Amino acid sequence: MLFHKRFIFFLSILLISALSACKKDPMLVPDNNPPYYNEVPDVLIDNYVNRLFIDLIGREPLDSEMEIERTNLKNGGLSMEARGALIDKLMTDTTWIEGDTSYMNAYYHRFYEISKVRLIEGASISEIMEFVGPLEFSVHIDSINEDIYGMETAQAELDKLYDLIHAEKDYMNGLIDINECCARMIDNAVYDQINMNTFNFVNASFDNLLWRYPTTVEFQIGYDMIEHNTSGVLFGQPGQNKEDYINILTHSRAFYEGMIIWAYSTLLAREPYDYETEALMQDFYYTGNFQKVQKAIMITDEYAHFD
């Protein structure tokens, strides 16, 4: 009888252990915001709003804007959707605003300015125009002298400078994509002066756009394309001149990865982890929508400091 009771006892223990071992982990629901968001103080919400305004449109919110956006975020429970709505507003709202024209206009102006800082040392329009004058004079003189080659060469360089100046509005209006916008930033006399000679140009264009220097093989192929118009294959694409090189570089998978790295570096002061890059690349590589990359970073608790 005693043996029977002990047997039943141990059998019960084994059954409980087996059931415990088979217990499933709790299901994690994506974007299911935990209750602690209700405890986030107003000062952190204000800091978040302030940071979004500065990063996206280059200025702090007015008191009236702060009050409105703080209320909207709180009414939305500080959810990812509420944060995303504010980010979309700052990127796309075309309502007239004194001083900015609109949030969308301010956003694209901010993007243009920080892109110039990244690629052409923040050259102002007046500094760019300093390159325009001599080229316009060259076009005029070559025209008088009937130097067709000289005139066309100078005009081509002049057109690149005007393309650079117009990149802000062209990108905002959807006339060019992110690839062409960055291509214009490195295909002009300003960038050439900063990075004199082909050796520096190849190294700088890799470093500025891809966040790394070229391998020995990549450098030699790029150098020969630009310096000698030699045919070569870079990132799996053929080319044989400077224009081909820039087009290949700004359409490579490495270019999109570089843009993601830049976004993380400017918004979170760190580079992305591999899994973060891969998650964003699934959409960005095919759509080229850089605004979605920024938004994905800016709705996080890490950016908002709500964690």
b/e map 192-221, b = 16+ CB within 10 Å? bebbeebeebbbbbbebbbbeebeeebeeb
pLDDT of residue 249: 98
Instruction: Dig out the tokens for 108 from the structure.
Output: 């694209």
Q: What CA–CA distance (Å, rounded) separates 260 from 257? A: 5
pLDDT of residue 99: 86
Q: What CA–CA distance (Å, rounded) separates 138 from 141? A: 5
8-61 pLDDT per residue, tens: 444 444 443 443 444 344 444 455 545 478 889 999 999 999 999 999 999 999
pTM, whole model, 2 decimals?
0.86
User: Phi-psi category of 122—alpha, beta or left, where left has phi over 0 and alpha has psi -120 to 50?
Assistant: left
pLDDT greater than 50 at residue 161: yes
**CA 11 to chain CA mean position, Å:** 61
pLDDT greater than 60 at residue 252: yes
178-220 pLDDT per residue, tens: 999 999 999 999 999 999 999 999 999 999 999 999 999 999 9
pLDDT of residue 120: 98
What is the rounded average pLDDT of the residues 259-276? 98
